[in-house]
């Protein structure tokens, strides 16, 4: 029997491979890079663990629950909440479901109105039901305005927090996706593995037969039953699952993507001498080119060497340099910003696919008899990438 060829060993391709392996179907998983994981990758620099772009593992995602051994990832979680900027200092706003007193501090500070508190409670109530991530045409920003969240609560909490999830400053993604993520944050935890976010795909790959994975091998041509590799060799396939990122899939299928099909971001890392009194939560920076910063090593201590802390800074302004970040954050951090020493930055021009930008690509793959997989086939998240991989394998099993 010819193998199913899976192109791309990101989380989508790995899930497809795991599902085929479970059903004893021969497969070949090919990736252009020398490692698995695609956008889920970590580097180790000067004793620090740096994820290539700020990201977290939502432990409540159904596919995460189903396919990962969370225990052996040795996860540590963000505290549910965030630091909000209150005139000249930071206010720790802990999830009111876990610490109701936090609500009163936020109300007293004026960052939140009584109506905002009521609307949050109403949101919490509607997220008790099943929330479909892609059910609405309305943008998140339009939804927040229609519901009547106050401008200050939007600028000090909702926009920097969800802007950092969507990587969209204008909160353009669908309101249904906002409600879906809200549910994940309220019901699950946002966690990081001890050895970096890249430990997740490594765990998946470890359960697959090593001789079925070929790394450092780019696919240059694809059809329903054959792929051509960069060295000119061809591999015949029972089925082909195209699980690359959207740009690579478009190139292989000869589709031109619209400008603006991706959200971009930059993550900058700084090291500072260890400090004891900062909670493992994001500092949300209002009305700024920086969305948020976090003492990452207070979430996952294994990310920094002893005596040091690791700070991550997330911006959507990809032109920002480390010096710009220090200038921008000086009023929020105070004189201790002098201790921030720049470590490394990661620019991710195609970090997340824009919902709805890939219809032509999907049609072209369907017409060519190629099974398409990847986060861009659904919505930008590990959940969607993993689900699409599993479903791609299932469709090969049925065919
Ligand atoms: C900065 C950032 C923050 C994020 N934050 C979160 C978060 O907090 N929570 C969350 O759930 N998700 C988050 N995500 C999204 C999540 O990382 C992605 O949805 C997921 O990793 C996508 O997996 P994938 O398999 O679809 O694609 P990818 O990871 O892009 O994998 C595609 C693979 O295809 C390979 N490939 C491409 N072309 C070829 C070719 N011609 N031949 C062979 N191989 C090829 C690539 O090398 C790559 O390994 C974030 C992403 C980024 C970048």
CA 132 to centroid of ligand 1, rounded, Å:
22
Greater model confidence, 132 or 72: 72
Q: Are residues 158 and 219 in the same domain?
A: no
* Ligand 1 atom closest to the CA of 389, numbered from 1: 25
Same domain, 113 and 126: yes
Mark whether 85 and 183 lie in a shared domain.
yes
* Residue 181 and residue 87 share a domain: yes
Q: For residue 187, is pLDDT > 90? A: no
Tell me the CA–centroid distance for residue 156 and ligand 1, in Å: 30
**pLDDT confidence bin for 140, thresholds 50/70/90:** very high
Report percent pLDDT > 90 for the chain.
91
Average pLDDT score over the chain: 96
Same structural domain, 228 and 375: yes
The per-residue pLDDT for range 299-355, each reduced to its tens digit, is: 999 999 999 999 999 999 999 999 999 999 999 999 999 999 999 999 999 999 999
Residues 309 and 177 in one domain: no
Per-residue model confidence as pLDDT tens digits over 188-205: 899 999 999 999 999 999
Which residue's alpha carbon is nearest to atom 49 within ligand 1?
A: 38
Strand partners, 45: 48
| Burial of 114 from C-beta contacts in 10 A (0-12 / 13-18 / 19+) | exposed
Whether residues 293 and 364 fall in one domain = no
Q: What's the pLDDT at 173? A: 97
Query: How far, in Å, CA of 380 to CA of 383, rounded?
Result: 8
- pLDDT greater than 80 at residue 81: yes
pLDDT score of 264 more than 80: yes
Q: Which residues line ligand 1 (CB under 6 A)?
A: 7-13, 30-33, 38-40, 53-56, 58, 218-219, 243-245, 248, 265, 348, 351-352, 374-375, 380-382, 385
**At which of 188, 212, 239 does a domain end?**
188
Question: Do residue 177 and residue 300 come from a single domain?
Answer: no
Question: Tens digit of pLDDT for each residue in 35-52?
Answer: 999 999 999 999 999 999
Instruction: Give alpha helix (H) positions in 4-139.
Output: 11-22, 62-67, 101-109, 114-126
Domain C-terminal end among 164, 188, 212: 188
For 49-62, what is the mean pLDDT? 97
Centroid of ligand 1 to alpha carbon of 27 (angstroms): 20
Residues 13 and 91 in one domain: no
What digits encode the pLDDT tens for the residues 161-178? Answer: 999 999 999 999 999 999
Residue 200, SS3?
Answer: helix
The CA 385 to ligand 1 mean position distance, Å, reads: 8
Mutate to test the pocket of ligand 1, among 245, 262, 371 (most ligand atoms within 8 A of CB): 245
Residue 164 has what pLDDT?
97
Look at residues 386, 9, 397 and name the one whose alpha carbon lies nearest to residue 377. Answer: 386
pLDDT in tens, 281-292: 999 999 999 999
Q: How far is the first Cα of the chain from the last one, in angstroms, to the nearest whole number?
A: 14
Q: What is the pLDDT of residue 361?
A: 98
Strands in 89-233 per DSSP E:
89-94, 190-192, 213-214, 219-223, 226-229
Residue 227 and residue 367 share a domain: yes
Which residues span the domain enclosing 183? 81-188
Average pLDDT of the residues in 366-388: 98
- CATH number for the domain including 315? 3.90.660.20
Q: Which atom of ligand 1 is closest in space to residue 388's alpha carbon?
A: 26
Average pLDDT over residues 144-157: 98
User: Which of 188, 206, 223 corresponds to the end of one domain?
Assistant: 188
Index of the ligand 1 atom closest to the CA of residue 11: 25
Considering the domain architecture, whether residues 46 and 86 belong to the same structural domain is answered as no
Quickly state the pLDDT bin for 99 (edges 50, 70, 90). confident
Pocket test for ligand 1, best of 5, 6, 9, 10 (most atoms within 8 A of CB): 10
Q: At what angle do helices 114-126 and 175-187 cross, to 10 degrees?
A: 90
Which atom, in ligand 1's list, is nearest to the CA of 190? 8
Q: How many domains in the chain?
A: 3
């Amino acid at each position: 029997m010819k193998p199913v060829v899976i192109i791309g060993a990101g989380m989508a391709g790995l899930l497809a491979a795991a599902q085929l392996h479970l059903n004893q179907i021969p497969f070949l998983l090919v990736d252009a890079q020398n490692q698995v994981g695609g956008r889920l990758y970590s580097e180790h620099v000067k004793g620090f663990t740096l994820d290539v772009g700020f990201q977290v593992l939502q432990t409540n995602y159904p596919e995460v629950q189903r396919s990962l051994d969370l225990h052996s990832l040795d996860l540590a979680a963000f505290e549910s909440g965030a630091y909000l900027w209150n005139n000249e200092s930071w206010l720790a706003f802990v999830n009111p479901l876990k610490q109701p007193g936090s609500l009163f501090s936020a109300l007293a500070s004026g960052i939140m109105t009584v109506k905002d508190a009521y609307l949050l409670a109403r949101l919490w109530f509607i997220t008790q039901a099943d929330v479909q991530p892609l059910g609405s045409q309305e943008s998140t920003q339009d939804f927040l305005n229609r519901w009547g969240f106050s401008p200050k609560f939007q600028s000090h909490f909702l926009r920097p927090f969800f802007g950092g999830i969507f990587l969209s400053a204008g909160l353009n993604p669908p309101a249904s996706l906002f409600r879906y993520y809200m549910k994940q944050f309220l019901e699950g935890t946002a966690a990081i593995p001890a050895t970096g976010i890249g430990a997740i795909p490594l765990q998946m790959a470890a359960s697959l037969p090593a001789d079925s994975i070929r790394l450092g091998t780019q696919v240059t041509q694809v059809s329903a039953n054959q792929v051509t590799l960069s060295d000119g060799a061809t591999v015949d396939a029972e089925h082909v699952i195209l699980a690359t990122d959207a740009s690579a899939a478009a190139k292989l299928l000869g589709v031109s993507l619209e400008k603006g099909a991706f959200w971009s971001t930059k993550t900058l890392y700084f090291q500072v001498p260890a400090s004891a009194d900062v909670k493992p939560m994001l500092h949300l920076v209002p009305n700024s080119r920086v969305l948020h910063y976090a003492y990452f090593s207070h979430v996952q201590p294994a990310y920094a060497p002893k005596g040091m802390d690791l700070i991550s800074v997330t911006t959507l302004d990809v032109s920002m340099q480390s010096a710009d970040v220090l200038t921008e954050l000086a009023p929020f951090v105070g004189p201790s910003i002098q201790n921030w020493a720049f470590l490394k930055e990661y620019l991710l021009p195609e970090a997340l696919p824009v919902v709805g930008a890939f219809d032509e690509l999907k049609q072209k793959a369907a017409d060519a008899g190629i099974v398409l997989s990847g986060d861009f086939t659904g919505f930008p998240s590990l959940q969607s990438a993993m689900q699409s991989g599993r479903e791609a394998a299932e469709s090969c099993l049925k065919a």
